[in-house]
């Protein structure tokens, strides 16, 4: 599965700790990330990550393009709800795309854990069916 890892600045340390805890699950999948988040994760783990631009420079949109092509299966986006983000429209667009294409999305560690435990159990086999039928876009 293709998994995106994104974190706002104040959530990057939390994302790193999360990926350390779930490294055994994550290393079985293709990982994508915005620039700085991916760099920090790779510095602290043995995970291989395809890094895009940082979020404010278009990384969110690059991941959004993969979602729109149905090439992303899961998004872990640890948002900071207490800090205004200058690229908030990009964040909103990414979340909207996850809804349109039925991509599981976690915006915090608690939901991320539930999704990765489900992934570990094999609960995401339905994504293969969606991909075989040409996408998961809502009608």
Active-site amino acid positions: 60
Q: What is the 3-state secondary structure (H, E, C) of the chain?
A: CEEEEEECHHHHHHHHHHHHHCHHHHCCCEEEECHHHHHHHHHHCCCCEEECCCHHHCHHHHHHHHHHCCCCCEEEEECCCCCCCCCHHHHHHHHHHHHHCCCCEECCHHHHHHHHHHHHHCCCCHHHHHHHCCCCCCC
């Amino acid at each position: 599965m293709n998994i995106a890892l994104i974190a706002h600045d104040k959530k990057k340390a939390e994302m790193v700790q999360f990926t350390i805890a779930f490294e055994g699950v994550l290393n079985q999948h293709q990982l994508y990330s915005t620039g700085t988040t991916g760099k920090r994760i790779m510095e602290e783990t043995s995970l291989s990550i395809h890094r895009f631009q940082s979020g404010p420079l278009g990384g969110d949109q690059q991941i959004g393009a993969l979602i729109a092509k149905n090439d992303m299966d899961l998004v872990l986006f640890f948002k900071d709800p207490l800090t205004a983000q200058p690229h908030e429209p990009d964040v909103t667009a990414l979340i909207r795309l996850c809804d349109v294409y039925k991509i599981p999305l976690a915006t915090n560690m608690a939901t991320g854990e539930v999704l990765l435990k489900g992934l570990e159990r094999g609960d995401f086999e339905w994504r293969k069916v969606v991909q075989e039928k040409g996408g998961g876009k809502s009608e």
